[in-house]
Amino acid sequence: GAVVSQHPSRVICKSGTSVKIECRSLDFQATTMFWYRQFPKQSLMLMATSNEGSKATYEQGVEKDKFLINHASLTLSTLTVTSAHPEDSSFYICSASSGGGGPEAFFGQGTRLTVV
Amino acid sequence: ELKVEQNPLFLSMQEGKNYTIYCNYSTTSDRLYWYRQDPGKSLESLFVLLSNGAVKQEGRLMASLDTKARLSTLHITAAVHDLSATYFCATQQAGTALIFGKGTTLSVSS
């Protein structure tokens, strides 16, 4: 299957700082990428959908000014957590699709964010 | 709104016995996914079911899909310790994000 690479896998940051997470599709062009957040012992919750070259669509309750998503190319989407607080500590997972209604969704390795 | 319900949420299994996880979804969908997640890890794709009546098997796991009943099952045959993990089902409508169930945490004991 296709490969989605997410970086970093772990990050610890101080409260009030910003953190950028990258999601790359390595062997296909991802017209759409999805960002999920997973709190301990919970399911994955969709945060936003990003389409290459356009603004991301955020799910209800997700602050777009806090979670900045950029999908500037067909192989890279970034999620920046701005002014991070301890409650933003979570596991963030990206997913990429090549579009065309294909059945596969490919997931990155996830990023464990800890805000201290 | 597409919703996915899984049950049970926790399953304590004895080695060698058979178990089933159920996944119901709320609106018409043409694809159903099963994933495994180990602690601290991302998702591992197990099965993608694309049509009514689809059945797929890999080792001790078998997944099936009934689109009329909006139901998928994940059957575990002769559970072994290596199957201990959290299993998620998910569905989507074409071109949109996957919507996940709450997950079923399996624990296998001897």
Residues B95, A99: C-beta atoms closer than 8 Å: yes
The reply to whether residue A44 touches residue B100, judged by beta carbons under 8 angstroms, is yes
What's the rounded Cα separation, in Å, for the pair B70 and B33? 13
Nearest to B42 among A1, A43, A93 (CB): A93
Sign of CA dihedral A24, A32, B65, A38: positive
- DSSP E strands in chain B: the ranges are 4-7, 10-14, 19-25, 32-37, 43-49, 55-58, 61-66, 71-76, 85-91, 99-100, 104-109
Chain B residues touching A103 at Cβ < 8 A: 31, 48, 50
**Nearest CA-CA partner of A114 in A11, A41, A44:** A11
* Tens-place pLDDT, residues A74-89: 899 999 999 999 999 9
* B95–A110 C-beta distance less than 8 A: no
> Which tens digits make up the pLDDT trace of B21-59?
999 999 887 789 999 999 999 999 999 998 888 999 999
pLDDT tens digits along A90-110: 999 999 987 655 557 789 999
